[in-house]
Amino acid sequence: MGEPRLIEISPVTRVEGHGKVTIHLNRDNEVDEARLHIVEFRGFERFIRGRLMWEVPVIVQRLCGICPVSHHLAAAKAMDMIAGVDQLPPTAEKMRRLMHYGQVMQSHVLHFFHLAAPDLLFGFGAPAAKRNIFEVLKEQPELGKRAVLMRKFGQEIIEATAGKKVHGTGAIPGGINRNLSIEQRDHFLKTIDEMEAWALDALNLARDYTLEHEDLIAEFGTFPSNYMSLVREDDGALDLYHGNLRAVRSDGGAIFDQLPYPKYHEVLIEDVRSWSYMKFPFIKELGPEAGWYRVGPLARMNTASHIDTPLANKAHQDLKAVTGGSPNNSTLANHWARMIEVLHCVEKIRDLLNDPDLQGTDLVAKGDRRDEGVGVIEAPRGNLIHHYRVDEHDQVTYCNLIVSTTHNNEGMNRAVKDVAVKHLSGKEEITEGMLNHVEVAIRAYDPCLSCATHALGQMPLQVELFDADGTLVDRQAQCM
């Protein structure tokens, strides 16, 4: 019988932002506890107070360097409400949608090819030096090239709609500040067929991986949970930009449905735990033990009644067929769901590019001022809630943000523990490859731990072993 051990993975790599995992092994080398800790404090909810309402969409997008468009648009939707605008001009809404689809596409492509593909292609236990995008490029150059060019396409869509690829200024309260020129439209139409073909190939890759590794996936972070997302008003279709809230149980039964998102606080509540800066939201009526839920691509596949673009809808049906129409509870099925959404985005982008409303000149609507606004969007990583109050001087007095990764906090922690128990328990020696299994589970959620960009090459994976008294007995570090 050995001594209890604490294993720390810090930081978790190939995710956005900084976090760490602690795994407590008892004297029998069984996993007692495993947790994902978010060790950064961002403070946006506090320091946005006092700023002017039209600045908010530009300021809060700095939360993130990967999906700033999500924060930009969620905040803009909240400011629309405060500006008294319930219906945007068609050009404004469609330009925002175009921006959003471009963003979801580039973010999903980034995650699948750059962050997750090394695990999927080379194996979870492959040498760390091999698990990176450069090895993907070396071994599968065509796949790597497509990854780069698909992401570029999405980024250029963002640039055309927001002025910059990262941290632009497109959405303003009540509308948008630009339309799409004919030249820009024609530029994107030249390559849209290629993007669709590549998105289909990527979808097939993710689907085949999931189906070919059915046994692994069934035991790897697979557990029942509730799921929540926006769905389109009336018909419950997948809608990444706007709609009402729907939550379903693991058996597919409705918890709430078509709930207008400004009422989110009537159904959701956030719990706080001392060991993490990230809150733990849950569905009020179910309580903290049973009310936690997951969001993100797979959650959206589980909540959406259908998808309103033909190719993605067919793919959605294929995914649903695996579980007989019930929600899919497999953490790793997120990759398949993510690629369905890439295809959906490409189809949506094509539809929008062919819509003359994008060349319209009615860009901003006016309304009667309100003092409170909620904006909700389906960000690449899942549901994103922005809630603000503004005083008579146009200054923000209250801000509450529930980001996708926060919604998924409990789910990620359960996935960490599930994988740690199955792959680390009872092992005398914990290898780097075993620890990567834990990271693979976290990565499947594509968490944005700080909503910020960091230099990948400077993020060391550090594992420390402590004795029962908490004394450090061994430390191994390696740069990813």
Instruction: With residue 289 as reference, give the H or E element that holds it.
Output: helix 287-290
Q: Is 178 in the site for other proteins (CB under 8 A)?
A: yes
Q: How many residues bind other proteins (CB under 8 A)?
A: 24
Q: How far is the CB of 164 from other proteins (least distance, A)?
A: 6
For other proteins, which stretch binds (CB under 8 A), given 160-168, 303-311, 318-326, 465-473?
Answer: 160-168
Give the 3-state secondary structure of residue 57.
helix
For residues 14 and 133, is the Cβ–Cβ distance under 8 A? Answer: no
Q: Is 187 in the site for other proteins (CB under 8 A)?
A: no
70/408 with CB nearer other proteins? 70
169/323 with CB nearer other proteins? 169
Among 2, 50, 260, 356, the residue binding other proteins under the rule CB under 8 A is 50
CA–CA dist 380, 338 (Å, integer): 8
Nearest one of 152, 31, 180 to 91, comparing CA atoms = 180
Q: How far is the CB of 50 from other proteins (least distance, A)?
A: 6
Among 15, 69, 136, 162, the residue binding other proteins under the rule CB under 8 A is 162
Binders in 51-70 for other proteins, by CB under 8 A: 51-52, 54-55, 57-59, 62
69/120 with CB nearer other proteins? 69
Nearest one of 467, 401, 460, 466 to 9, comparing CA atoms = 460
289/392 with CB nearer other proteins? 392
Q: How far is the CB of 60 from other proteins (least distance, A)?
A: 9
Q: Is 177 in the site for other proteins (CB under 8 A)?
A: yes
181/478 with CB nearer other proteins? 181
Distances (CA, A) of 288 to 21, 178, 251, 257, 282: 22, 44, 19, 20, 6
Residues 6+ apart with CB under 8 A from 152: none
What Rg, from alpha-carbon coordinates, does the chain have? 22
Instruction: With residue 191 as reference, give the H or E element that holds it.
Output: helix 182-212
89/281 with CB nearer other proteins? 89
65/90 with CB nearer other proteins? 65
Q: How far is the CB of 99 from other proteins (least distance, A)?
A: 12
44/223 with CB nearer other proteins? 44
Residue 354: DSSP 8-state:
T
DSSP labels, 201-225: HHHHHHHHHHHHTHHHHHHSSB---
Binders in 405-434 for other proteins, by CB under 8 A: none
Among 169, 258, 326, 400, the residue binding other proteins under the rule CB under 8 A is 169
* Measured CA angle at 337 (ends 416, 333), to 5 deg: 40
Q: Where are the alpha helices (DSSP H) in 14-124?
A: 44-47, 56-60, 68-82, 90-109, 117-122
Q: How far is the CB of 178 from other proteins (least distance, A)?
A: 4
CA–CA dist 337, 315 (Å, integer): 9
Distances (CA, A) of 397 to 38, 332, 369, 391, 468: 26, 40, 15, 6, 48
Binders in 251-310 for other proteins, by CB under 8 A: none
Q: How far is the CB of 59 from other proteins (least distance, A)?
A: 5
Q: How far is the CB of 76 from other proteins (least distance, A)?
A: 10
Q: Is 326 in the site for other proteins (CB under 8 A)?
A: no
Distances (CA, A) of 71 to 57, 200, 285, 403, 457: 7, 28, 28, 9, 26
170/447 with CB nearer other proteins? 170
For other proteins, which stretch binds (CB under 8 A), given 98-106, 127-135, 234-242, 390-398?
Answer: 390-398
User: Residue numbers of the site for other proteins (CB under 8 A)?
Assistant: 50-52, 54-55, 57-59, 62, 162-164, 167-170, 172-173, 177-178, 364, 393-395
